[in-house]
Chains A and B, each alone.
Chain A
């Protein structure tokens, strides 16, 4: 594609999709919607904390490792219980 073709394509694209008028700003104040979003997320985090599902990936990996250890070496169970 040479420069002439490129210019033709640009012209055609602008004919098909003219630039939007982005100077006016939103039709309404978006701060109330932002507050709602912040409120929803805080409520979700509180619920998450209460139900005990707020595990980090590290907690999950540690628990999985422990299960694997116990399954592979059942003899280690008394030792683990001793240290608990």
Chain B
């Protein structure tokens, strides 16, 4: 079984289309799920999954089968999602009406009003994509710090620092709007 997987990876490195299809079918769900956690938009996540696998295919000669496919694919997918967040931020316009309709989670705190939730979501959108991606994965999605670090290609300490900075900036932004968390 392991020999078969290793042979698929080696064939993929040589540009074998069948091996690439096998890897695509095996990992598309995981890659899609990871991207969805970052971008929070199913349609964008589908497009970015294709974009990520396209980048994976183009970079096949640099792939080291000994390092494993999943982590490598996740790292490429994270960067594709980061590029998407950056591009989206450039044309981001605050749509307060849309954010005002944010659904409350099932276990929501009654003291946290819809207005506070929407202002928090908007303030979070205003953070830099690098900080946002770290906070999204580590805080909202509760992914282990080491997984987030591996996906972003940074150290665990750097992840913790980014999360800390994201929360601090978010707090400052909310305080400016008269909200004291």
Contact = CB atoms under 8 A, between A and B. Distances in A.
Contacts, number: 104
A21 to B, nearest CB: 9
Per DSSP, chain A at the interface is helix
A31 to B, nearest CB: 6
Interface in A10-44: 10-20, 22-23, 25-28, 30-31, 33-34, 37-38, 41
A5 B181 contact: yes
B146 interface: no
A9 B105 contact: no
Counting contact residues on chain B (CB < 8 A from A), the size range is: 35 or more
B112 interface: yes
A8 B181 contact: yes
A9 B21 contact: no
A16 B120 contact: yes
Contacts of B168: 1
Interface residues of A, number: 29
Interface of B: 21, 24-25, 28-29, 32-34, 36-37, 40, 42, 45-46, 49-51, 53-54, 57, 102, 104-105, 108-109, 112, 116-118, 120-121, 124, 135-136, 139-142, 164, 167-168, 170-171, 181
